[in-house]
Amino acid sequence: PFSGGGKDTAYGTQEDLWRGKVWININYLALQALSQRYSSQAGAKELYQTLRASIISTLLSQWKTKGYLFEQYSDKTGAGLKSKPFTGWSALVLLIMAEQY
């Protein structure tokens, strides 16, 4: 899944609530943009499919092993982090699975 870290020079060095963690709401918006606004651009469909599969796989894995959806997920391991059970924006995975944007 897409995280907020990337090339941020402060990644891993400061408070990292929004840096580096995987947030399902942000990934939902990225998928929405890829499917509705950029679908005709080269590589967009493949990126959409890869990102969607990764999000579903990550959340399903955590659900199977921990029995919860979490507030956010590790960008390195996919492990659930912070609040649990969390059915706020992490419940967007259902719309992602149904491809409802």
> Each residue of 21-32: pLDDT tens digit?
889 999 999 999
Tokens describing residue 96: 């992602």
Entry pTM: 0.82
Peptide bond into 85 cis (omega under 30): yes
| Structure confidence at residue 86 as a pLDDT band (50, 70, 90) | confident
| Structure confidence at residue 39 as a pLDDT band (50, 70, 90) | confident
The pLDDT value recorded for residue 14 is 62
pLDDT tens digits, one per residue of 54-85: 999 999 999 999 999 999 999 889 999 988 88
Residue from 42, 55, 49 nearest 1 by CA: 55
